[in-house]
Structure 1
Amino acid sequence: MSMADLDRQVVDCRACPRLVAWREEVARVKRAAFRDETYWGRPVPGFGPADAKLAVVGLAPAAHGANRTGRMFTGDRSGDVLYAAMHAVGLASQPTATHIDDGLTLIGTRITAPVKCAPPANKPTPEERDTCGAWLKQELALLRPTLRAVVVLGAFGWQALLPLLTVAWHVPVPRPRFGHGVQYTLDARDGGPPLKVFGCFHVSQQNTFTGKLTPAMVEAVLAGARDAAGI
Structure 2
Amino acid sequence: MDALADLDRRIAGCRACPRLVAWREEVARTRRAAFADQTYWGRPVPGFGPPDARLLIVGLAPAAHGGNRTGRMFTGDRSGDVLYQALYDVGLASQPTSVAVDDGLKLYGVRVTAPVHCAPPANKPTPGERETCRSWLVQELRLLRPTLRAVVVLGAFGWQATLPALGEAGWRVPRPRPAFAHGARVTLDGLEGHEGVEGHGGLEGHGGLALFGCFHVSQRNTFTGRLTPAMLREVLGAAAGAAGLK
- Alignment partner of 1:2: what SS? helix
Instruction: Please name the residue that 1:95 is paired with.
Output: 96
Indicate the residue corresponding to 1:183 in structure 2: 185
Distance in 2, matches of 1:50 and 1:131, equals 24
Partner of 2:174: 172
Match of 1:131 in 2: 132
Code of the aligned partner of 1:140: L
Residue identity in the other structure for 2:179: R
- TM-score normalised according to structure 1 size: 0.99
Q: Alignment partner for residue 201 of structure 1, among 204, 208, 215?
A: 215
Aligned position for 1:108: 109
Q: Aligned partners of 1:192 and 1:38: how far apart in 2?
A: 46
Deviations 1:93-137 (A, max 9, x none): 100001010000000000000000000011111111001010000
Q: Name the residue aligned to 1:43.
A: 44
Distance 1:211 1:52 in 2: 30
- Offset from partner CA, 1:33-66 (integer Å, 9 cap, x none): 0000000000000000011000000000000000
| SS of residue matched to 2:210 | strand
Which string of whole-angstrom CA distances, capped at 9 and with x for unpartnered residues, describes residues 127-186 of structure 1? 110010100000000000000000000000000100110121100111001000110001
Output the amino acid matched with 1:188: G
1:222 is aligned with what amino acid?
A: L
State the partner residue of 2:11: 10
Aligned positions, number = 231
Aligned to 2:83, what secondary structure does the other structure show? helix
Determine whether 1:192 maps to 2:206: yes
CA distance in 1, matches of 2:118, 2:76: 16
Distance 2:175 2:185 in 1: 16
1:183 & 1:194 partners in 2: Cα distance? 12
CA deviations over 1:174-218 (Å, ceiling 9, x no partner): 100100011000111035221000000000000000011100000
Q: Give the one of 200, 225, 230 matched to 2:239.
A: 225
Q: CA-to-partner distance for each residue in 1:2-37, whole Å, 9 max, x for gaps?
A: 100100000000000000000000000000000000
Structure 1: gaps spanning 5 or more residues: none
- In structure 1, distance between residues paired with 2:46 and 2:106: 15
Give the partner amino acid of 2:25. E
- List structure 1 runs of 4+ shifted beyond 3 angstroms: none
The residue identity in structure 2 corresponding to 1:224 is A
Between stretches 36-45 and 167-176, larger displacement belongs to 167-176
Q: Distance in 2 between matches of 1:3 and 1:193?
A: 23
- Confirm whether residue 84 of structure 1 aligns to residue 114 of structure 2: no
Measured in 2, the distance between the counterparts of 1:59 and 1:70 equals 15
Q: Which residue pairs with 2:120 in the alignment?
A: 119
Cα distance in 2, alignment partners of residues 168 and 226 from structure 1: 21
Q: Distance in 1 between matches of 2:126 and 2:181?
A: 22
Q: Report the 3-state secondary structure (helix = DSSP H, G, I; strand = E; otherwise coil) of the residue aligned with 2:8.
A: helix
